[in-house]
Structure formats: structure tokens, C-alpha cells
Amino acid sequence: MAAVKNALVKTATRPPLRLPPLAGVHDLLRLYRIRALKSFSQNFLLNERITDKFVKSAGKLEGIHVCEVGPGPGSITRSIMRQNPAQLTVIEKDERFLPTLELLRDSCKSSINFNIITGDILKTNLEDVFRGATKCNWDEKPPSVHLIGNLPFSVSTILLIRWLEAMSTKSGAWAYGRTRMTLTFQKEVAERMAAREAEEQRCRLSVMCQNWCKVDHKYNILGKSFIPPPDVDVGVVTLTPLKEPIIKLDFKLIEKLLRNTFNMRQKYSRRSVSTLFPEDLREDLTERIFEMADVDPLIRPYQISNFEFKRLCHAYNELIKEYPHIASYDFRAYKTSQIINTEKITDYKENLL
């Protein structure tokens, strides 16, 4: 009986895909005279041992739909291919890499459905990318889809915020369920994403990531491992959406409260939270929001726990019901308009003189 069971296990698990002989990535870069562009924040990870470790940190990829963001010359792509995904879609903005990616696609056309999308990930609908994958209910285990990417530093945080918003509305890649992500960030950003209350790196991004995801900062890659080497080390982070967010409110409301609160992270929380309210209501509503949330107004923003932020967000939501106009109040816009109006008055006086 045990022998039969072992035989079934062996037939159920395919060995890693053996790619046909291919030119090395270094050779292809020389052949096509491709160099990293600063304008695209390009840093290539070419060491096969490191790319294999990075891809394995995403977990089992055999038989699932994978989307790689910013594959560049395809070094990480090769490591993904060796894991036998059912479908692999790469999204690359730089058309110089098309020949190297097409070589990879041709090498595995009999075993992997390999798609190349030339375009900007910020403008790509990920629901279309994963079309054909099986959708799962949100409270079930994550679906058989996965996002992987060595993200350019210039867009990594912007992209992450957009994906968290899509996660909150269960759209894009998250229309399929609790789609997981394995991504690279600057080491400092990775530390911020995972930072807990009172930790030095805690910021708006910490609370936002932890509100919708389990954040696993797995390990760091030395900057010198990349070509060209960046000035910082790089963190590998896996994000798994939670079945229920800590704060079940509109994304924009949560983001606004966190953005304002961490605007002055070293000052008392009441100072930064007060900027949520117009001047005529500021003193009264600032006192009320902390009383309603049962949060100490004299602690610093980075000392506030996720669940205290939950109470602050709900208190802010209740105050908006009472004073609807405060939802659209933006103290930055108000300060800017004050400066513009002051300049207009000054110009008018100078013209009179």
C-alpha cells in the first residue's frame, strides 16, 4: 500500500522544467547591446542561484498562473519557468528586451502558455492578465495565481498602494480571490511595510500593508548582487491578503487619515490628526475623535497600534456623517489656496502703487 502511495506521489509531481540550451543572460545583454537605464530604475538580478531562491520564496508555482512584473532580460523568468507554471505572463515596458523574452517563450512553447505584454504595469488590467484562471471565494485559500516582480524603485510604492486599493475592492488580480505577491523593494521600504507599533520604521505604509495583508519580509539581497548595483540592499517581501481587513472602511478614508496622521510622525498625534478638520471645527473635532476612539492624543503616530487606528478611522467616519463637508477637506489644498490668494492680494496692491 505504501509503495502504491509513493508511486502516486511521484507521478503527481512533475520534475522541474529542463530548458533547452540557451545563451546566458550576460551574453544576450552583450549581443543586443542592452544596458540598464536610470530612467526606468533598472537593476538586473542575473545570478541564477539568487533568482532561484527568490522564486522559491513565492512557494509552489507548479500548475498555476504567474504574472512577472518587469522581467527585463528574463533572468528571474527562467527561474519561474523551471517551476512549471501552467501560464506565465510577463509585463515589460522596455521594448529592448523583447528579443530575449521571445527566445524564452519559444524555448518552452510545448509546456508553458507564455505571454508577453509590452506596456506599463500601472496601466495594465491584471484581471485580464489572469483570464482563464479559476476564481476562488475570498474566505477560501489563495487562488492558483501569483504576482512576482523585481520592481523598479521608482514605481514600487505607487504600485503597491494601487494594488492595496484593488485588493480592498476585490478587483484586478484580486477578482480571483486572495492573490499572493512576492516582490522586491528597497530594504528600508520592506522594513517599513513589516514595522510594528513603536518601531523606528513604522509609517503610513506599515499600517496600510498590515490592514489588508500578512506581510512577510523574508530576507534581503545585497545591492552588489545587482547590475548595476544600487546604493541600497533589497528586501524580498511576500504579501498574502487577509480574509478580513482590520479596518473595514473605504480605502480612501483610511488612506487619508493615515497620510495626515503620519505627516508629523514625531509630534503628538493630536497635532497631525487635527489637520483632518477645517479651522473652525478643528479644536472641537480633534478632541472628540480621540475621545470616541479611546486613543491617547499625546502619543506619537508611530506608537499607535493597528487596532487603535481602526478606532480612529471609525470615529472619523462617524464625524463625517455628522459633518459631511469635512470628508472633502484637504488642509494642503487649503494652505496652497491661502498662499495663492495672498500672492494675488500682494500683486493687486503693487499694481495700485
Cα→Cα distances 299→140, 162, 198, 259, 269, Å: 38, 30, 10, 17, 6
- pLDDT score for 263: 94
What separation in angstroms does the CA of 303 have from each of 70, 138, 201, 276? 36, 31, 11, 19
For position 33, what pLDDT does the model report? 57
Give the separation between CA 327 and CA 222, rounded to whole angstroms: 44
Q: Tally the C-alpha atoms within 13 A of residue 345's C-alpha that lie toward its C-beta.
A: 6
Residue 17: predicted pLDDT: 65
241 prior amide bond cis, ω within 30 = no
pTM attached to this predicted model: 0.86
Return the pLDDT at 154.
87
Residue 177 Rama label (left phi>0; alpha psi -120 to 50; beta): left
CA count, 13 A, side-chain hemisphere, 194:
17
Is the sign of the CA dihedral 349, 351, 352, 353 positive or negative? positive
* Cell digits of residue 329: 477637506
Nearest to 147 by CA among 234, 221, 223, 240: 240
> Is it true that domain 13-241 has CATH number 3.40.50.150?
yes
Res 348: pLDDT = 40
Say what the pLDDT of residue 114 is. 97
Range 251-336: architecture per CATH: Orthogonal Bundle (1.10)
Q: In sequence order, what DSSP letters do the residues of 198-250 get, joined into one string?
A: T-TT--HHHHHHHHHEEEEEEEEE-GGGEESPPSS-EEEEEEEE-SS-SS-S-
**Separation CA 104–CA 317 (nearest Å):** 51
Q: What confidence score (pLDDT) does residue 38 get?
A: 65
DSSP designation for 262: G
Low-confidence ranges of the chain (pLDDT < 70): 1-42, 334-353
E strand or H helix at 45: strand 44-45
What's residue 353's pLDDT? 43
| Gap between the Cα atoms of 9 and 262, Å rounded | 52
Q: Kindly list the domain boundaries of the chain, sorted by start residue.
A: 13-241, 251-336
pLDDT digits 0-9 by tens, 102-126: 999 999 988 999 999 999 999 999 9
- pLDDT for position 142: 96
What pLDDT was estimated at residue 312?
A: 98
